[in-house]
């Protein structure tokens, strides 16, 4: 009964699979991140950098400066700290060279202490003073080129180039005389600029190393339920084009800690997209083999069976109700309760077609009679249920509806003689249509809440199905925006 539910549940877990995800191997899940999506990720990265880079301490700078009239003065700048970094304008581009992030309008505020001392032959004592200063860095430019490759199924991020260039700084001393001001500005502008440039470049490289080890430590298998795990091994190097970054993962289900599901799945090439990525941040493409592997795992694990002993109209599960349709059953077991033992007899056939998911589920239904505290199996009926599921993403999350396309049944065995299958089929078919389908649709209509990831979730999402593929095109949005 809950079959459609299981599938949609798996589906929604999959489509929100968050992993930022060349051989002749094939990936069954593809994640294409558009320029808009890369922009979003870049902004997230920069925002993170702005807050985690500071306070950043720079090494002390010391210099002897010749000041007219005064003479030679030793000036020391210490406790130089970048207090704030702010980026106004930045871009991200993908291409043959890698992922290029450029920051144009960067600014930074620094605080520091200054100190000087000098002695002249005119005076027998050493004169010194100290105070603090603030520095504003304007028009900071940063260029960062990253390479993203796949190594043994994990993503490997590395820095190809990283440079920081400070265009202009302005120094503001608290206290001090005007000669000092001139001395500091003239002698230290260049040194402070290059100290900022060096410190920023190093910090960025360190940041990327941290991010890279985070990516490398992503698991290759993600448990979805207690029996099934999704293989999230990356396949082939990420493809970088001018318009998007494409990642492929294996994407097949296997039984947890066991690989009983063999690799007999073969993806058809040429997934055509029904939604274009330009106006959405990501497009996730799921091949139908993903659903097939999931269904296979559940089938092999013997999870596809259920007992029906309760229905809205309980009298249906009583031999009395069936006395006209199966008189011999009533004769042998008058007024007894019935339970139905349903099990899926072979892995369901799943096909993704235009705008819908089509499933054919073969089921064996054993009719058990509860007579005098004994369970007696009296007959087994083989059924085949064909249904179409159409999925949609709305405010409620992932929703959908199911439609019964076809239903056939035949008698497998019977201990109560001949059964009038046509009559039984009519009754069961109407039960399916009036009880099961509305029940499943009500559950589907309520929707499955899409989980959020680190405060972000899918927004503005659309789902499409076409030959063998499901596409989800979506933006990412922070939770507060909903
Ligand atoms: C160094 O700068 C920080 C931040 O401005 C300040 O809190 C600290 O007191 C300074 N240390 C010294 C020794 O001046
Ligand atoms: C950002 O900087 C680039 C390069 O200088 C420039 O072309 C673009 O117009 C700037 N964008 C904004 C919003 O300032
Ligand atoms: C940083 O400098 C800007 C001017 O560029 C100024 O408006 C801002 O208040 C400064 N921020 C801090 C934290 O000092
Ligand atoms: C996961 O996928 C990778 C790449 O396709 C494959 O080499 C590996 O054997 C798979 N793991 C399991 C448990 O199936
Ligand atoms: C169904 O069978 C039970 C025997 O367990 C009997 O007590 C009951 O009256 C029957 N109910 C109906 C509605 O016929
Ligand atoms: C239901 O059927 C399966 C096999 O078809 C059997 O293993 C199981 O014991 C049955 N359960 C009940 C409650 O009859």
Nearest protein CA to atom 7 of ligand 4, as residue? 233
Rounded to whole angstroms, the Cα distance separating 366 from 25 reads 43
Nearest ligand, CA of residue 90?
2
Q: Which residues of 276-308 are buried (b: 16+ CB within 10 A; e: fewer)?
A: ebeebbbbbbbbbbbbbbbbbbbbbbeebeeee
Q: Does the C-beta of 262 come closer than 6 Å to ligand 5?
A: no
| Structural fold of domain 37-216 | Bactericidal permeability-increasing protein; domain 1 (3.15.10)
Give yes or no for a contact between 468 and 290, defined as CB atoms under 8 angstroms apart: no
Instruction: Give the position of tokens 């099961």.
Output: 436
pLDDT in tens, 118-156: 776 666 677 778 888 889 998 899 999 999 999 988 989
With pLDDT > 90 as the criterion, what percentage of the chain qualifies? 21
250 lines ligand 4 (CB under 6 A): yes
Torsion, Cα of 285, 291, 294, 300 (10° steps): -150
CB 401 within 8 A of CB 445: yes
pLDDT in tens, 36-59: 888 888 888 898 888 888 899 999
> Which of 301, 305, 337 for a ligand 6 pocket mutation test, highest count of atoms within 8 Å of Cβ?
305
Q: d(Cα 327, Cα 384) in Å, to the nearest integer? A: 25
Question: What HEC string does 179-217 produce?
Answer: HHHHHHHHHHHHHHHHHHHHHHHHHHHHHHHHHHHHHHC
Q: What is the pLDDT of residue 321?
A: 86
Do residues 269 and 263 make contact, with C-beta atoms less than 8 angstroms apart?
Answer: no
State if residue 109 touches ligand 3 by the CB under 6 angstroms criterion.
yes
Residues 364-388, mean pLDDT to the nearest whole number: 91
Q: What is the DSSP letter of 450?
A: P
pTM across the whole model: 0.74
What integer best gives the mean pLDDT of the chain? Answer: 81
What is the Cα–Cα distance from 250 to 28, expressed in whole angstroms? 5
Please determine, for residue 375, whether its predicted confidence score (pLDDT) is greater than 50: yes
Q: How far is CA 446 from the centre of its chain?
A: 23
Range 3-28+221-481 has CATH code 3.15.20.10: yes
- Ligand 3 test: best mutation among 55, 109, 136, most atoms within 8 Å of CB? 109
The residues spanned by each domain of the chain are 3-28+221-481, 37-216
State the Cα–Cα distance between residues 79 and 76, nearest whole angstrom.
10
Residue nearest ligand 1's atom 1 by CA: 79
The tens digit of pLDDT for each residue in 227-258 reads 778 888 899 899 888 888 888 888 888 887 65
Query: Would the pLDDT of 308 be above 70?
Result: yes
Same fold yes or no, 3-28+221-481 and 37-216: no
Instruction: Determine the average pLDDT of the residues in 290-318.
Output: 83
């Amino acid at each position: 009964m809950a079959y459609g539910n299981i599938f949609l549940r798996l589906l929604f877990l999959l489509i929100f699979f968050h992993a930022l995800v060349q051989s002749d191997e094939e990936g069954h899940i593809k994640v294409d991140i558009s320029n808009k999506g890369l922009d979003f990720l870049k902004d997230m990265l920069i925002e993170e950098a702005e807050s985690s880079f500071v306070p950043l301490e720079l090494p002390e700078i010391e210099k002897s400066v010749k000041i007219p009239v005064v003479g030679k003065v030793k000036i020391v700048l210490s406790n130089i700290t970048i207090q704030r970094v702010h980026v106004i304008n930045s871009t991200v581009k993908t291409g043959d060279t890698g992922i290029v992030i450029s920051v144009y309008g960067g600014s930074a505020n620094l605080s520091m202490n200054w100190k000087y001392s000098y002695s002249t032959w005119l005076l027998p004592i050493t004169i010194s003073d100290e105070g603090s200063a603030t520095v504003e860095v304007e028009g900071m430019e940063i260029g960062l080129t990253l390479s993203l490759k796949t190594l043994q199924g994990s993503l490997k991020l590395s820095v190809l180039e990283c440079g920081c260039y400070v265009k202009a700084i302005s120094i503001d001393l608290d206290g001090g005389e005007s000669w000092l001001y001139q001395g500091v500005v003239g002698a230290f502008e260049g040194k402070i600029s290059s100290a900022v440039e060096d410190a920023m470049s190093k910090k960025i490289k360190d940041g990327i190393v941290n991010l890279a080890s985070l990516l490398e430590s992503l698991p290759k298998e993600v448990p979805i339920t207690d029996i099934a795990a999704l293989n999230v091994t990356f396949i082939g190097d990420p493809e970088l084009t001018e318009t998007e970054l494409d990642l492929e993962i294996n994407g097949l289900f296997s039984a947890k800690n066991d690989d009983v599901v063999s690799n007999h799945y073969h993806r058809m090439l040429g997934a055509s997209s029904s939604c274009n990525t330009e106006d959405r941040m990501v497009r996730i493409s799921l091949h139908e083999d993903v659903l097939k592997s999931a269904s296979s795992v559940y089938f092999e694990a013997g999870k596809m069976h259920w007992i029906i002993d309760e229905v809205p109209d309980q009298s249906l599960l009583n031999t009395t109700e069936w006395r006209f349709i199966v008189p011999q059953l009533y004769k042998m077991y008058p007024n007894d309760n019935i339970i139905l033992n349903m099990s899926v007899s072979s892995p369901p056939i799943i096909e993704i077609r235009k705008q819908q998911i089509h499933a054919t589920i073969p089921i064996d239904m054993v009719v058990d009679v509860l007579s005098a505290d004994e369970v007696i199996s009296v007959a087994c009926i083989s059924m085949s249920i064909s249904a179409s599921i159409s999925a949609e993403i709305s405010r409620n999350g992932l929703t959908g509806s199911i439609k019964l396309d076809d239903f056939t049944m035949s008698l497998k065995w019977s201990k109560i003689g001949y059964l009038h299958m046509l009559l039984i089929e009519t009754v069961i078919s109407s039960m399916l249509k009036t009880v099961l389908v509305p029940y499943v649709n009500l559950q589907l209509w309520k929707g499955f809440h899409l989980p959020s990831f680190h405060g972000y979730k899918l927004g503005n999402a659309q789902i499409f199905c076409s030959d063998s593929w499901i596409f989800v095109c979506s933006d990412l949005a922070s939770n507060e925006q909903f």
